[in-house]
A and B are shown apart, each in its own frame.
Chain A
Amino acid sequence: MAFFPWKRFLRSKTAWFSLLVMLVFGLVAVLAPWLAPHDPTKWSFSQTNLPPMWVNDAAGAGVAEFPLGTDRVGRDILSRMIYGTRTSFILAFTAVPLAALIGTLLGLIAGFRGGRLDTLIVLLTDIFQSLPGIMFMVVLILIFRSILAPTWLAGLVTLVIGYAAVSWVSLARLVRINVLMIKSRLFVEAAAALGASRRYIITHHLLPNVLHVILAWIINNIPAIIILEAVLGYIGVGVTGATEGGEFNVVSWGGLFFAGRSAFSRNPLILILPSLSLMLVCVSFILFSDMINEITHQEQQ
């Protein structure tokens, strides 16, 4: 990474925009307990279905205590938004690296060892790729729901494992192809001829050369899991405490989507705000990865 063109990077407006958005949302995620005005899981039955505080019409008037109103069981929307940011960031920074680890390991083994093992791993990636991703995750969540306790941690673990199980495939393929290409290059042959051990070749020649592929994949997949969580929450099999029953009590944007879906005519903000913040975060990650691609591409010429 020493050759990374920092100057060009720091001069671009896109970089500053993305970094700013990530920083703001990151801060919100870290400081959630101090920022949120209420406990996001506390029910208050005297104040259910409140509109935002500036609304005052026949259907009801908002109170300053709940700035964005409350949901069906009287939980504060603003607090749920803030804690939801936290969930999204924790997911992004645990599930994606876990998937990356699995994908890198399998891709590296397949590409480096070759032979029977390679065939087997490629077959495995084909099998996982040919399963419909969303349904695979829905089924996994339904299973985990039944065996784990409905806590915040268990919900997160479910999503992390589910996502890692689905998404390692694309990285494994990428890493394998790249390793195959690098393996046939002269410097690897030279290292092998000089008597370098396998471990040395892997850690000093292969890994550094596929590192940029892995990093790009990680940045690209962070928006993917944030969106996936929202989609799963929306269709109602997420890990949120949106409905009663044996579900995980995770406060997340997906859960807000689920709540906002039925409350759309009454309080559209429940749906609009998480959508906007989700879009901001995802756009900044996507633009960020685009820009890094472009800069390194230009630098190589």
Chain B
Amino acid sequence: MGRTLWPLFVVVGLLRSLALPGAPSPVTGAIRGRVDVRAAAAPPEGRPDPGGLGMAAPREPLDRRRSVVYLETAPRAAFEVNEERRVRMTQQHERFVPHVLAIVAGTWVDFPNNDRTYHNVFSLSKAKDFNLGRYAAGKSKAVRFERPGIVRVFCDIHSHMSAFILVFAHRYFAVTDDEGRYRLDGIPPGSYTVLVWNETVRGDPPRRTVTIGESGGDVDADFSIR
């Protein structure tokens, strides 16, 4: 069987090599813009604690305006991610920092505990369920996220702690900055659907169709989330 099929493997290999990231790409463009989210920053929602004997420490407001902009379908080259990536989501002042993290599938996420108390990071999401158990300040545990999807992260001890990890199969995504701006670079010419994820959006995410011309260049796409 190996003898009869080897020419086919060679042809497929040659075709794949044309799409590798290292191969010269004649023209690419970028999609940039701003996501305007009207949700106000609010303290993290802790459950009322009638069993408590005193005030909980004041909590910093949670910025719910942070969004993730991504392409619904990406060019083939986008899936060729070979290097092992590693990012971190810190537990600090009873918050996950950052509150929203976007990664490519296969990325390791470190969860260091920078607080004086225990935390217990866990998720029951379909894309990745895990439970890191209780570990103290200065310790860290890591999780590899292999499957694309939205992973909701919680602390089993502090019900007001939550975060989102968006796992993508490709690399065409960006988390908006403090001003709501984003930029997706290195996109080959073509027509794409751009979507926006924001935790305040219920139902279908806002979307727009954007075309990168044959000559490349930047294309603007702004979004508004009420």
**Chains A and B belong together in one complex:** no
Contacts from B to A (Cβ < 8 Å): none
Chain A residues close to B by CB (< 8 Å): none
